[in-house]
Amino acid sequence: MLARRELSTSQIRDRLTQRGFARDAIDEAVSRLTANGMLDDARVARAVARMRAQVRRQGRRRVARELAVIGIPEDLARHALDEVFGDVDEDALLEQALSRRLRGSMTLDDPAVRRRLVAALVRQGFAPGAVMRTMRRVRQKQ
């Protein structure tokens, strides 16, 4: 399972449970994998956060939700988010995401376009207040 990509402890537990392994065998396997460094939730959290922020250009909130979904403990997720987003200018990331979504003749003057863009950017993980501020700033430039 770990040959293709890194998985969190929770993901390994879930997959082994689905394959019918006993709880004791799962605990033993997880302990061994953790002891020899093949299983490391902190490393997985950093890798996922980095990929989501820098490649997929998702906001902090979306990345935090993704880390929770894969079972990363909250303290490790927070540390990974601080590390990854410490190097990322979230305002610039948000502005890039907005400009990518504004296509052709779309303008921020249309209320329907603004509503769709706000919803899309919030789903992408950006704070609603930051989205509104960025949209106002971009609208003034148009």
Give the C-alpha separation, 53 to 60, whole Å.
Answer: 8
pLDDT tens for the chain, 142 residues long, are 777 888 999 999 999 999 999 999 999 999 999 999 999 999 999 999 999 988 888 999 999 999 999 999 999 999 999 999 998 888 888 988 898 888 777 788 889 889 999 999 999 999 999 999 999 998 888 6
Give the C-alpha separation, 26 to 142, whole Å.
Answer: 58
Contact 131, 122 (CB under 8 A): yes
Residue 15 token pair: 């997959």
pLDDT for res 2: 79
Query: What single-letter amino acid sits at 98?
Result: L
pLDDT for res 128: 94
The H or E element spanning position 36 is none
Residue 60 token pair: 């902090």
Give the C-alpha separation, 31 to 11, whole Å.
Answer: 14
